[in-house]
Structure 1
């Protein structure tokens, strides 16, 4: 028998389909919790939110030489790109120390770009970003409940979106990608991508006529093609931004790439498994009759 990728959603019982995404979710929750215990934030904060200085320079100096030259300053990390591009992140410092840093940079790297964000301003941005995430998530949840008017399918969509954000944030902790304005924007975009695929799946299963197996495989075919097409575009964006040394675009593309892969797992394993159980158990028919 030929292998049919799009029939995978019909090969396993709901319990097995949901087990792996739930296990990944629990692990992600633990990672977020540990990071919160040690840093006071679920995800490591970047300069945009914690305050600090970002320096972009074009130089042949090695990272070791850069570390040595800036040894007297709170250098956090050095990001390397192609075309001799380097992205340096410094922690918060006093005004006097910042002036000295600016002088040292100007003396050795006259074409460098220097950006500074104060701690208090960073905290304000942090609060605004959190508010934006909460409002987006709450708004999405309300729209989903209004659209489907059934508890279990609506909860499945909302949980899948929440799991996408949480697991992506946990992976950001693992790979050392800080939360910045760019990565926050990417997380907001993930809410839209997640809900898009989940609503596609839920609508196909609950609103269309036919066998459950056919509806699942057809929904998976459409959703998988949609997501992999987006993944290809995001991967191209990531490669171009890495070659060009465009840090903020690179961060956005990285978060989107991670989040879209996570969304494939949550949508087509957890959400599909839950909806399969929901229909097979007869609960869907009972709620329709009501």
Structure 2
């Protein structure tokens, strides 16, 4: 098995304010991005069909994805190649927010007209996959799940350490670990769906794992503060970087094979884990150092 050598960071060169400044600045930018998206579009992150409702067409054509993209008056929210044995040249085209039967029929006619240059285009299946009312209920359920997971994580942090600053450090890091990937999704146009919500739930777990590891080494194990920090980093950074590489490989592979959801999950987890490295070993650590040297007996 390979060994990942984690260099020892000279934290004494930086004040607590300097350490916390970078992650807090990134968090502030992420919040500004989400706020701007909310003001312009009505939602912090673009909603997928799971949460907005809409129509879905399955198209049989030898046209390219770019040609399919340009075949409709309404820009598709997603175009995915159908991956199934014996199925070739089929694409699933999704239009979020469209449920009217006349609008769906118009999209069907556009597909058959604009993609029939070689006489090969046909709509294999058309359907309205989710009504806005059902999608809104699904959205509320997913957001409730995220809120319950975050609240549960916060309770566990306070139960484990039973002190304010270390527990708040874990909660603050986890909050930033969620907000930064959400802002990234808003910038690059990754939609919020049941699949991407699952990725965000996984990030809560990753965040708690790395933060509790750091807190436990510093507060409950013997040794100097910086020695304990380095021991925690050897384990925590190795785990996180390994997971990042796995998610990056999954995302790139899924993208090459046209599996859009897996590609989105992979890149969200990669960005979230990178944010977790920053928040754990800069924001969380700065709060722990203040608590250890200034807050415990003051």
TM-score range (shorter-chain normalised) is 0.7 to 0.9
C-alpha deviations, 1:130-173, integer Å up to 9, x for none? Answer: 11011111111111101100000000000100111111111111
1:120 corresponds, among 114, 133, 155, to 133
> What SS is found at the alignment partner of 1:179?
coil
1:36 aligned to which of 28, 33, 38: 38
Equivalent position SS for 2:93: strand
- Give me the whole-angstrom Cα distance separating, in 2, the residues matched to 1:183 and 1:56: 23
Q: CA deviation at 1:64?
A: 4.8
CA distance in 2, matches of 1:268, 1:252: 24
Q: Which position in structure 1 is the counterpart of 2:16?
A: 14
Indicate the SS of the match to 2:44.
coil
Whole-Å Cα distance in 2 between the matches of residues 152 and 13 of structure 1? Answer: 17
Among candidates 253, 272, 280, match of residue 285 of structure 2: 272
Report the Cα distance in structure 2 between the residues aligned to 1:101 and 1:240, rounded to whole angstroms. 31
Q: Partner residue of 2:235?
A: 222
Counterpart of 2:75?
Answer: 75
Task: Say if 2:173 and 2:283, in contact at 8 Å, map to a contact too.
Answer: yes
Is this contact kept in 2: 1:78–1:86, CA < 8 A?
A: no
Aligned to 2:94: 89
1:96-135 to 2 correspondence within 5 Å?
Answer: 96-102=102-108, 108-109=121-122, 116-135=129-148
Distance 1:22 1:246 in 2: 34
Provide structure 1 residue ranges, at least 5 long, that are not aligned to the other structure.
Answer: none
TM-score (normalised: structure 1):
0.87
Task: State how far apart, in whole Å, the 2-side matches of 1:57 and 1:241 are.
Answer: 21
1:77 shift after superposition: 3.8
Shift of 1:88: 3.3
1:260 to 268, 273, 296: 273
Rounded to whole Å, the distance in 2 between the matches of 1:246 and 1:58 is 18
RMSD: 2.7
Q: Distance in 2 between matches of 1:25 and 1:68?
A: 37
**Aligned match for 2:188, one of 163, 170, 175:** 175
Question: Alpha-carbon deviations, 1:92-141, whole Å to 9, x = none?
Answer: 14123324544665782456786722211111111111110111111111
8 Å CA contact 2:60–2:121 kept in 1: the answer is no
DSSP-derived class of the 1:41 partner: coil
Could you tell me whether the CA contact under 8 Å between 1:235 and 1:257 is conserved in 2?
yes
Task: Note the C-alpha offset of 1:236.
Answer: 1.6
**More relative contact order, 1 or 2 (CA 8 Å, 6+ apart):** 1
2:59/2:121 contact within 8 Å kept: no
- Alignment CA distance shift 1:85-1:175 (3 Å): farther
Q: Please give the alpha-carbon distance, in whole angstroms, between the structure 2 residues aligned to 1:102 and 1:158.
A: 48
- Tell me: CA distance 1:190–1:8, structure 2 relative to 1, closer, same or farther (3 Å): farther
- Distance change >3 Å, CA 120–CA 153, structure 1 → 2: same
Of residues 80-89 and 237-246 in structure 1, the stretch that sits farther from structure 2 once superposed is 80-89
TM-aligned CA deviation for residue 6 of structure 1: 3.0
Cα-to-partner distance string for 1:206-239 (whole Å, 9 max, x where unaligned): 0011111111111111110000111111112112
TM-score scaled by structure 2? 0.85
CA contact (8 A) 1:9 1:269 kept: no
Match of 2:115 in 1: none
Gaps of 5+ in 2: 113-119
* Stretch moving more, 77-86 or 198-207: 77-86
